Amino acid sequence: MAQPGLGLRNPVGARPGPASAGHGGRALGFAAAAFGIALAVYVADVAAHPLGFTLDWFDLNIYNHAGLITRHDPGTLYSWHFLPGVQYLYTPFAALGFAAGSLLPWAVLKWLMTVASLAAVPATVWVTFGQLGWRGRERAAAVLAVSAVALWTEPVLRSVRVGQIELVLMVLIAWDLCQPDHRWWKGAGVGVAAGIKLVPLIFIPYLVLAGKLRQAAVATAVFAATVVIGFIALPHDSVTWWLTGYFLHAGDFTNTSQGAVLNQSLLALVTRTPAGAGSVHGLWLGVAAVVGCLGLLAAAALARTGRPTAGWVTCAVTGVLISPISWDNHWVWIVPLLAVLADAGYRARRAARWGYWGFAVALAAVFADWPAHWTGPRAFVPRGLVGFDVGTHHPMREIFHLHGIQLVTWNLFVLGGLAMFAFLVSRAWLAWRNRQAPAI
């Protein structure tokens, strides 16, 4: 049998759900109803508001325009401004994909992206539970139940609202890392994701430390291929991106951007302290180095002790924490984490079970898209509880003078991420310490 704990060892084909088919059928029915209600409420919310409020496709519009520029005037890709101060920040390889997308009519593209983003939530949960050993009706029920909660988290709804690519990259990486190790192409999804956006590169050292050298080599080779493809198709833009150091400062690293309430990274947290009025990059680099190394070691320890799902989720959380700019929608990794916690809670016993589930509920509450007004035309805030008490137009000059509840709400997701991080690292330590313990 599987060991109790987070990200359990799972025999191939094991079914952790109820032995009774009747119980499994009832659970599936309740879960399907919960997911159906969650999705119906979202559709009703979209229909009840002006379209620009719930779905504005802002980021997708940037991708689409970048695609058009790639097709018609590629030499200006990294000098073009969508709006003053708003530029295209992804790789030349990504621009080629956006160019293909721009061939579609805008009305088709925006709704295709919305459907793909919504579908990415249950798809990610599906592959996560599959790697955790769930099968049949119990797997379907667990997927629908967790997806019903995950759908109403702020990072997910923000990503859907602006047409962000984050959910698509998440399901690509999760699907890739949930493949059996004998698949020769495992790692390719990580390589493609990193070729679009550099943050997924953190999964390559994770694979190395986890002892999955072939998969790391595949990811590295595919990433390198995306760079070569970019140089062949867009040589001028590739020189700008890779050889002038543009990729190192593609984001806006001013205090205004770093300290913006929707930036929920360790750098943002440090910037919003009184020390942030000066340069905090040295402090941040030190903190990020410690968190990055500790997170990668913990992720590798979980993978090496038969807990690969918890391993790559730990790696993902680490990446969002140490990235200099982690907008609220980058925290979509709460989706597979909720699946891991639900699985651990189901398998655990007594107090441990309630501990896992209680932590999952607390995280869901922190990351939920809570109502700002119970009635009226603006039923849901677009950023959950982040900055809840400070208003939409809080003066940036005041970010170094936060007080009271502001110290929490302005750092809510990064604090939640640090709680996840501490929890996962502690589980990794216990798993490594007890790695010789026989399965029970």
> Which pair of tokens denotes residue 368?
């939920």
pLDDT tens digits for range 30-87:
999 999 999 999 999 899 888 888 899 999 999 999 999 999 999 999 999 998 888 8
* Residue 86: its H or E element: strand 86-87
- pLDDT value at 211 more than 90: yes
pLDDT confidence bin for 385, thresholds 50/70/90 = confident
| CA–CA dist 209, 201 (Å, integer) | 14
315 CA to centre of own chain: 11
Residues near 43 by beta carbon (within 8 Å), at least 6 away in sequence: none
Is residue 76 included in any domain, yes or no?
Answer: yes
> Which pair of tokens denotes residue 381?
């805030």
Is residue 8 included in any domain, yes or no?
Answer: no
pLDDT confidence bin for 20, thresholds 50/70/90 = very low
Is residue 143 included in any domain, yes or no?
Answer: yes
Q: Which residues of 276-301 are buried (b: 16+ CB within 10 A; e: fewer)?
A: beeebeebbeebbeebbeebbbbbbb
Three-state SS letters, 93-113: HHHHHHHHHCCCCHHHHHHHH
Spatial CA neighbour of 154 closest among 391, 329, 377: 329
Spatial CA neighbour of 186 closest among 233, 231, 127: 127
Q: Is 153 helix (H, G, I), strand (E, B) or coil?
A: strand
Please give the pLDDT value at position 249.
67
Is residue 421 included in any domain, yes or no?
Answer: yes
* 301 contacts 295 by C-beta, under 8 angstroms: no
Is residue 438 included in any domain, yes or no?
Answer: no
Is residue 292 included in any domain, yes or no?
Answer: yes
Winning range, highest mean pLDDT, from 7-16, 148-157, 263-272, 403-412:
148-157
Q: Is 327 helix (H, G, I), strand (E, B) or coil?
A: strand
Task: Residue 220: give the domain boundaries.
Answer: 21-433
* 229 contacts 93 by C-beta, under 8 angstroms: yes
Spatial CA neighbour of 323 closest among 263, 367, 384: 263
| CA–CA dist 311, 428 (Å, integer) | 8
Is residue 12 included in any domain, yes or no?
Answer: no
pLDDT confidence bin for 273, thresholds 50/70/90 = confident
368 pairs with which residues across the strands?
153
Please give the pLDDT value at position 14.
39
Is residue 15 included in any domain, yes or no?
Answer: no
Number of compact structural domains in the chain: 1
* 160 contacts 60 by C-beta, under 8 angstroms: no
